[in-house]
Amino acid sequence: MEFLLEGTGDQARYYFLEMNTRLQVEHAITEQTTGVDLVAAQIRIAAGEVFPWSQGDLTPRGHSIEVRVYAEDPLRDDLPQAGPLLLYRQPSLPGIRIDAGVTEGDEISVHYDPMIAKLIATAATREAARRRAIEALRAYPILGIHTNLPFLIRLLEHPRFVTGEIDTGFIERERRALIEGLDAPPPPEVLAVANEIRNGVGGHLKRTLQDAVPDPWESLRGWRT
């Protein structure tokens, strides 16, 4: 069940948004806080097996925060980006789960949603999960395209987010503070890696992308009805 919150205090108003009777992008939050595997359960049920648990079997614990890592430019009204992932290294840290469908060398296409991955941070408390999420985002190098990684870090560090004083108008009201300085040049070590890739791996990567298997949606060969 999804709701929207407008305003705060006595003026707060809640709006019903939707009920998802399917796996949604945020299903990882449920899995992390209840310890169940919704995907496996869905497959077993589709195969005719008995539902693996009842509501009374589930006991939520801890707190999870999920962010969507997107190929978009926060400084240009979140304009979607397209291009190769010259460098893509997922963080491996305690309490961090990454759900991604890309690897280094893949290309973000203009034909699909530009979401690169979901990063889910889980800990005993909201504050601990927030800190874990920031640590993981700082250890998530992606080169080749603009991403919203700096924006996500800035958002998680914002004082109003820290205290939970957020609603549907939070980003628009705080946009200047959230994007100010995001156009600063990358650290020297990042620039060094980018230069190495451009001079070395870049040429190989370009050939690899050119020789890649065509998009399956470009042909109907092999499809069965």
Instruction: Tell me which residues are annotated as active site.
Output: 22
DSSP assignment of the chain, as one string?
-EEEEES-GGG-EEEEEE--SS--TTHHHHHHHH---HHHHHHHHHTTPPPS--GGG----SEEEEEEEESEEGGGTTEE--EE-SEE-----TTEEEEES--TT-EE-TTS--EEEEEEEEESSHHHHHHHHHHHHHT--EESS--SHHHHHHHHHSHHHHHT---TTHHHHHHHHHHTTTTSPPPHHHHHHHHHIIIIIHHHHHHHHHTSPPPGGG--TT---
3-state secondary structure of 25: coil
Q: Where does 110-198 show beta strands of DSSP type E? A: 115-123, 142-143
Lateral strand order in the sheet of 96-100: 63-70, 115-123, 96-100
